[in-house]
Amino acid sequence: MRMHNPPHPGETLREDVLPALGLSVAEAARQLGVSRVALSRVLHGRAAISVDLARRLEAWLRKPDGRGPSAETWLRGQVAYDLWQAEHSGRDLQVDPAHEALA
């Protein structure tokens, strides 16, 4: 079990990326080719970074020398956030372990 609560990757976009670029949500959404509402939902942690958005972010933030966060980086951040949330949800998984069926 992970010890700390990783931030939603939308928080990184909202707190770090957009201010560094001096962009509004509407302008960032336009540049990314997504709706303002869809981007806003991600920025506020109400929607996940999809594969499509991760690819768009990679293309959008890639520098001419190829540096910048990859789609995989955005998706790893989303998975880390989702997994921590699930592990700390207080819900036990109701599963029958496979090793018992194989015995």
Along the chain (103 residues), what's the average pLDDT of each consecutive run of 10 residues? 86 98 99 99 99 99 96 98 93 84 68
Instruction: Report yes or no: 86 and 1 within 8 Å, Cβ to Cβ.
Output: no
Look at residue 2 in the predicted model and tell me its pLDDT. Answer: 60
Q: What is the mean pLDDT of the chain?
A: 94
Q: Give the model's pLDDT for residue 36.
A: 99
Tell me the whole-structure pTM to 2 decimals: 0.88
- Which pLDDT score is estimated for 75? 99
pLDDT confidence of residue 78? 99
Take residue 62 and report the two structure tokens written for it. 């890639």
pLDDT of the residue at 80: 97
- DSSP element (H, E) containing 12: helix 9-12
Domains of the chain, CATH where assigned: 9-86 (1.10.260.40)
What's the confidence (pLDDT) of residue 97?
85
